[in-house]
Chains A and B, each alone.
Chain A
Amino acid sequence: MKQVWLIAKRDFFTFMLSPTGFLLLAAYLVISGYVFAADLSTSREASLQYVFSTFGIISILLIPLLTMRLISEEVRTGTFEVLVSAPVQDWQIIVGKFLAGWMSFLMLSAPTFSYLFILEIWGEPDWSMALCGYLGQQLLAILLVALGLCCSAATVNQVLAGMSAMVLGLLWATTHELRYSLPDSFGEWMAYFSIFHHYALFRRGIFDSRAVLFFVIGAGMLLFLAVRLIESRRWKTATVPNAVASLPRYSRLTTMVSALALILLMECVISRFSRGIWSGYNTSLLLASGGLAGFVLWRNRIRVAAALAKKRSGLALIVCANCGLIVAIWFFILYLSYFYYFRLDLTGSKTYEISELTRNVLTRIETPVDIVVTITKPSDLVMKIENLLDDYASRSAWLKRHYIDPAQSPAEMDYWREKLQLSGPLSEEILIASGEKYRRIPQAALVQNKILQVVEGRRILGPAYFVGEIEITSVLLHLTRAQPGKVVFLSGHGEKNPEAAGDAGLSHIVQELQNANWVVQHSIIMPGGNPRFSEDTQVVVIAGPRQAITAEEVNSLRQVLDRGGGILFLPEPGFDADLVSWLDTWNIRLNNDIVADFQSHLAGGDASVLYVHRFDSRHPIGRSMERQAAVLPAARRIGVNLTTPNPSVYATNFMHTSGSGWALEFKESGPLQLDSQRDRKGPISVGVAAERYQSFADPGHDPMQGRMVVIGDSDFCTNQYVELAGNADLFLNCVEWLAGRHDLLSIRPKRAEIFTLALTAKDVKLIYWWSMILLPGAAISAALFLNYKWRKAK
Chain B
Amino acid sequence: MTETYAIQMNRVSRYYGARPGIVDVTATIREGRLVGLLGPNGSGKTTTIRLLTGYLPPSEGEVRVCGYDVFEESLEVRKRIGYLPENCPLYPEMRVIDYLRWIGELKGITGSELDTAIFQSLGQCGLDGMTDRVIGHLSKGYRQRVGLASILLFRPPVMILDEPTIGLDPLQAREFRRLIETLRGRHTIILSSHILTEVEMLCDEILIVSEGRLVTQGTPDELKKQVRPLYRLCCKRHSSYASLLPVLTSAVPDIRIEEYTEGEEGIYLRMRTVESDPRELLFQRCAETGIVILEMGKEEITLEDVFVEWICRSREPSETAEMNEVNR
Q: Per-residue CB proximity of A64-83 to B under 8 Å, as 1/0?
A: 00000000000001110111
The majority secondary structure among interface residues of chain B is loop
Provide the bound-state CA to CA distance between A85 and B55, in Å: 7
Pick the contact of B57 from A78, A88, A236 — CB < 8 Å? A236
Within the complex, what minimum Cβ distance (angstroms) separates A70 from chain B?
Answer: 13
Kindly count the residue-residue contacts between A and B in the assembled complex, taking CB atoms under 8 Å apart. Answer: 91
A 755-794 binary contact with B (CB < 8 Å = 1; else 0)? 0000000000000000000000000000000000010011
Contact of B18 (CB < 8 Å), options: A18, A78, A81, A239: A239
Interchain CB contact under 8 A, B103 and A86: yes
Please state if A14 and B106 are interface contacts (CB–CB under 8 Å): no
Per the 8 Å Cβ criterion, residues 6-30 of A in contact with B are: 6-7, 10, 14, 17-18
Residue A235 CB within 8 A of the other chain: yes
**Chain B residues with Cβ under 8 A from A234's Cβ?**
54-57, 71, 74
Q: Mark A218-254, 1 if CB is under 8 A from B, else 0.
A: 0000000000000001111111100000000000000
B93 at the A interface (CB under 8 A): yes
Is B75 in contact with A89, judged by CB distance below 8 angstroms?
yes
Interface centre among A14, A77, A81 (most CB of B within 10 A): A81
- Answer yes or no: B305 CB below 8 A from chain A CBs: no
Q: Which of A6, A83, A237, A240 contacts B105 (CB 8 A)?
A: A6
The answer on a CB contact under 8 Å between B78 and A10 is no
Can you list, as one digit per residue, whether each of B30-60 has a CB less than 8 Å from chain A (1) or not (0)?
Answer: 0000000000000000000010011111110
A458 an interface residue at 8 Å Cβ cutoff? no
A239 pairs with B90, CB closer than 8 A: no
B102 contact set on A, CB distance < 8 A:
6, 10
In the bound complex, what is the Cα–Cα distance between A83 and B83 (angstroms)?
Answer: 10
Contact B93 A14, beta carbon cutoff 8 Å? yes
Q: Which residues of A contact B258 (CB under 8 A)?
A: none
Q: A14-B93, A81-B85 are in contact. Are A236 and B105 (CB under 8 A)?
A: no
* Residue B313 interfacial (CB < 8 Å): no
Interface centre among A10, A89, A238, A310 (most CB of B within 10 A): A10
Interface centre among A6, A82, A84, A85 (most CB of B within 10 A): A85
With an 8 A cutoff between CB atoms, is B137 at the interface? yes
Closest CB-CB distance, A239 to chain B, in whole Å?
5
B70 to chain A, nearest CB (A): 10
Q: Do A240 and B17 touch (CB < 8 A)?
A: yes
Number of interface residues of A (CB under 8 A): 34
Tell me which residues across on chain B come within 8 A of A78, comparing CB atoms.
85-87, 89
Asked whether B256 is an interface residue with its Cβ less than 8 Å from the other chain, the reply is no
* CB atoms of B59 and A240 under 8 A apart: no
C-alpha spacing A83/B103, complex, angstroms: 9
In angstroms, Cα B55 to Cα A502, docked, is 81
A235 to B56, CA, bound (A): 8
Task: Say yes or no: is A312 at the interface (Cβ < 8 Å to chain B).
Answer: yes
The answer to whether the Cβ of A87 comes within 8 Å of any Cβ in the partner chain is: yes
Chain A minimum-CB-distance residue to B17: A311
B79–A87 CB distance below 8 A: yes
Contact with A along B157-190 (1 / 0, CB 8 A): 0000000000000000000000000000000000
- Does A3 interact with chain B (Cβ within 8 Å)? yes
A310 to B17, CA, bound (A): 8
A678 interface contact, C-beta 8 A: no
Partner of B106, one of A3, A81, A312: A3
User: Quick one: closest A residue to B130, CB to CB?
Assistant: A794
Is the Cβ of B105 less than 8 Å from the Cβ of A81?
no
Interface residues of B in 104-152 (CB under 8 A from A): 105-108, 132-134, 137, 150
Q: Tell me if B57 and A79 are in contact (CB < 8 A).
A: no
- Contact between A82 and B17, CB atoms less than 8 A apart: no
- Find out whether the CB atom of B89 lies under 8 angstroms from the CB atom of A81: yes
Instruction: Decide if A701 is an interface residue (CB 8 Å cutoff).
Output: no
A10-B91 in contact given A78-B86, A88-B106, A793-B137 (Cβ < 8 Å): yes
A2 CB–B CB distance under 8 Å: yes
List the A side residues contacting B75 at CB < 8 Å.
Answer: 87, 89
A207 to B127, CA, bound (A): 56
Q: Find chain A residues with CB under 8 A from B89 CB.
A: 77-79, 81-82
Q: Does B260 count as interface, using CB distance less than 8 angstroms?
A: no
- Judge whether B15 and A239 touch: CB under 8 Å: yes
Which residues of chain A come closer than 8 Å to B207, judged between CB atoms? none
Instruction: State whether the Cβ of B223 lies closer than 8 Å to any Cβ in chain A.
Output: no
Q: From the candidates A6, A82, A794, name the one contacting B83 in the complex (CB within 8 A).
A: A82
Judge whether A18 and B55 touch: CB under 8 Å: no
Contacts of B282 in A (CB 8 A): none
Closest-CB distance, B77 to chain A (whole angstroms): 9
Q: Are B56 and A81 in contact, with the CB atoms below 8 A?
A: no
Q: Is B12 an interface residue (CB 8 A)?
A: no
- For A233, list chain B residues within 8 Å (CB): 55-56
CA distance A6 to B74 in the complex (A): 20
Q: Nearest-CB distance from B306 to chain A (Å)?
A: 30
Cβ contacts under 8 Å, B137 to chain A: 793-794
The reply to whether A311 and B15 form a contact with Cβ atoms under 8 Å apart is yes
Inside 8 A of A86's CB, which chain B residues have their CB? 78, 103, 106-107
Q: Name the one of A87, A237, A310, A793 contacting B78, with C-beta atoms under 8 angstroms.
A: A87
The smallest C-beta distance from A792 to any residue of chain B, in angstroms, reads: 10
Inter-subunit contact A794/B54 (CB<8 Å): no
Q: Is the CB of B17 within 8 A of A312?
A: yes
Q: How far is the CB of B49 from chain A (nearest CB, A)?
A: 10
**A236 and chain B: residue at smallest CB distance:** B57
On whether A85 and B83 interact (CB within 8 A), knowing A238-B59, A794-B137, the answer reads yes
Q: Is the CB of A6 within 8 A of B106?
A: yes
Query: Min CB distance, A119 to chain B, in Å?
Result: 38
CA distance A86 to B107 in the complex (A): 6
| Chain A residues, CB < 8 A from B133 | 793-794
Give the residues in chain B near A87, CB-CB below 8 Å: 75, 78-79, 106-108
Interface, chain A (partner B; CB < 8 A): 2-3, 6-7, 10, 14, 17-18, 77-79, 81-89, 233-240, 310-312, 790, 793-794
Interface pairs (10), CB distance under 8 Å: A78-B87, A81-B50, A81-B83, A82-B89, A82-B103, A85-B55, A86-B78, A89-B75, A234-B74, A790-B134
Point out residues on B near A: beta carbons under 8 Å: 15, 17-18, 50, 53-59, 71, 74-75, 78-79, 81, 83, 85-87, 89-91, 93-94, 102-103, 105-108, 132-134, 137, 150
